[in-house]
């Protein structure tokens, strides 16, 4: 019997027991049912306690016209409760510390920020951002766009009144591009150029290989050198493109899959029937202590689940407990072998 069915039966009994149409035989069969399983008993006790508590609604109704059902919120207007409301609800809203000083501070910081942004807007030079292994950083751009930089990545950003340009030197970044048809947003990654107007997509670069994942709007991927004759590829949400210097391969995936690939933005790795060797390669992007598979037998075991990307130790403990794998810590590496 499912929990839902148990709770339905228990609540029906409680409702009927109160109705006056409740015979000794009904009680006897309820008793049998309760004795039959602890699952029945605990569910029943819980609902019974809630129902008993509801008896106190009478106390709340005091002072109200009893032949009407009070409209929502009316019970709390009860003067008796109003005092309680003050006691319980107020501390939740009222800030614990006076806010005036931090506000002033925030205001002056904001002014500085406006100054800095204005300056950067007109400044011709670009700014560079970098993350270490395991790092994850959000970079707000002056045009309202936002860049999320994944582990071990580096970008150079130049936002001018005419163009918004980002150069991905290595690693991976996710872009939420503010709409601005007059200023295309161009990401250069090796030989590939990814061009957007207002959209959300990620670019990952490993040497010559560039992967682009789009989850909103459209982007265009073209070769740096237009004379090569390769036509640009137009990507829609859910599309995953891989460019390797020769051409662009586009795969259409369900949007959910594209989003799962981008789960790193929240610090997680999502695996679904993923071979262990691929999962390990992912973890190694985020951790300086590398995991090494020394036994080809285990390399293709399948992994499922969500993991914190920077906690490879927890990941290793979990696969040890669930798969026939032994882990050994050696010279800053974690070695995986079959059992």
Partner 1 sequence: MEEDLDRWFIREIVAHEAALMRYLSRCWSDHTEIHDIRQECYIRVYEAAAKSRPVSAKSFLFQTARHLMVDHLRRRRVVSIESVEDLDALNVSVDELSPERRLSGVQELWHLSYAFDQLPAKCREVVWMRKVQGLSQRDVGTKLHIAETTVEKHMARGIRLLAKFLFDEERATERTSAKDTGAASAPELKDTGLEHES
- Applying CB under 8 A, the residues found at the interface with partner 1 are 3, 7-8, 11-12, 14-16, 18-21, 38-39, 41-43, 45-47, 49-51, 53-61, 66-67, 69-70, 72-73, 75-76, 78, 80-81, 83-85, 87-89, 91-93, 268, 301-308, 311, 314, 317-319, 321-323
Q: Minimum distance from CB of 213 to partner 1 (Å)? A: 22
Q: How far is the CB of 270 from partner 1 (least distance, A)?
A: 10
Half-sphere exposure of 243 (CA within 13 A, CB side): 28
User: What is the rounded CA–CA span in Å between residue 105 and residue 103?
Assistant: 5
Q: How far apart are CA 179 and CA 234, in angstroms?
A: 18
Closer to partner 1 by CB, 158 or 318: give it: 318
What's the min distance (Å) between Cβ of 137 and partner 1?
20
- Minimum Å gap between C-beta 170 and partner 1 is 28
* Residue 131: count of CB within 10 angstroms of its CB: 20
Q: Is 17 left (phi over 0), alpha (psi -120 to 50) or beta?
A: alpha
**Sign of the C-alpha dihedral computed for residues 178, 179, 182 and 188 taken in this order:** positive
Half-sphere exposure of 182 (CA within 13 A, CB side): 4
Shortest reach from residue 282's CB to partner 1, in Å = 14
Q: Nearest distance from residue 256's CB to partner 1, in Å?
A: 15
For 277-290, letters b (16+ CB in 10 Å) and e give: bebbebbbbbbeeb
Q: Which is nearer to partner 1, 12 or 224 (CB)?
A: 12
> How many Cβ atoms sit within 10 Å of the Cβ of residue 89?
11
Question: CB 209: neighbour CB atoms within 10 A?
Answer: 14
Residues 6+ apart with CB under 8 A from 218: 196, 197, 199, 234, 235, 236
- What minimum distance in Å lies between the beta carbon of 49 and partner 1? 4
98-123: burial string, b at 16+ Cβ within 10 Å, e else:
eeeeeeeeeeeeeeeeeeeeeebeee
Burial pattern 240-264, b for ≥16 Cβ within 10 A else e, equals bbbbeeeebebeeeeeeebbbebeb
Residue with tokens 């035989």: 25
| CB of residue 326 to partner 1, shortest distance in Å | 12
| Closest by Cα among 333, 332, 287 to 136 | 287
Task: Give the residue with the Cβ less far from partner 1, 42 or 249.
Answer: 42
């Amino acid at each position: 019997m499912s929990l839902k069915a148990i709770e339905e039966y228990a609540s029906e009994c409680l409702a009927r027991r109160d109705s006056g149409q409740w015979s000794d035989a009904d009680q006897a069969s309820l008793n049998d049912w309760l004795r039959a399983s602890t699952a029945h008993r605990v569910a029943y006790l819980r609902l019974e306690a809630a129902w008993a508590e509801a008896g106190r609604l009478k106390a709340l109704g005091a002072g109200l016209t009893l032949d009407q059902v009070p409209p929502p919120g009316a019970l709390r207007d009860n003067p008796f409760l109003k005092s309680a409301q003050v006691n319980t609800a107020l501390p939740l809203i009222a800030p614990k510390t006076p806010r005036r000083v931090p506000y002033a501070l925030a205001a002056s910081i904001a002014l500085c920020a406006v100054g800095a942004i204005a300056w950067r807007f007109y400044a011709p030079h670009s700014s560079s951002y970098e993350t270490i292994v395991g790092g994850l950083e959000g970079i707000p751009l002056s045009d309202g766009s936002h860049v999320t930089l994944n582990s071990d990545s580096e970008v150079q950003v130049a936002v001018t009144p005419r163009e918004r340009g980002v150069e991905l030197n290595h690693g991976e970044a996710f872009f939420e591009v503010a709409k601005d048809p007059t200023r295309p947003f161009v990401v250069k990654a090796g030989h590939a150029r990814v061009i957007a107007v207002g959209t959300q997509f990620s670019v990952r670069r490993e040497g010559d290989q560039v992967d682009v994942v789009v989850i909103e709007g459209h982007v265009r991927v073209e070769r740096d050198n237009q004379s090569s004759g390769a036509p640009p590829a137009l990507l829609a949400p859910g599309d995953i493109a891989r460019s390797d210097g020769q051409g662009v391969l586009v795969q259409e995936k369900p949007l959910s899959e594209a989003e799962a690939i981008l789960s790193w933005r929240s610090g997680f790795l999502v695996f679904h029937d993923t071979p262990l060797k691929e999962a390990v390669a992912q973890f190694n992007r985020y951790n300086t202590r590398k995991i090494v598979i020394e036994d080809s037998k285990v390399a293709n075991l399948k992994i499922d689940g969500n993991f914190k990307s920077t906690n490879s130790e927890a990941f290793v403990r979990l696969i040890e407990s669930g798969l026939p794998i032994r882990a050994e810590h050696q010279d800053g590496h974690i070695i995986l072998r079959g059992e």
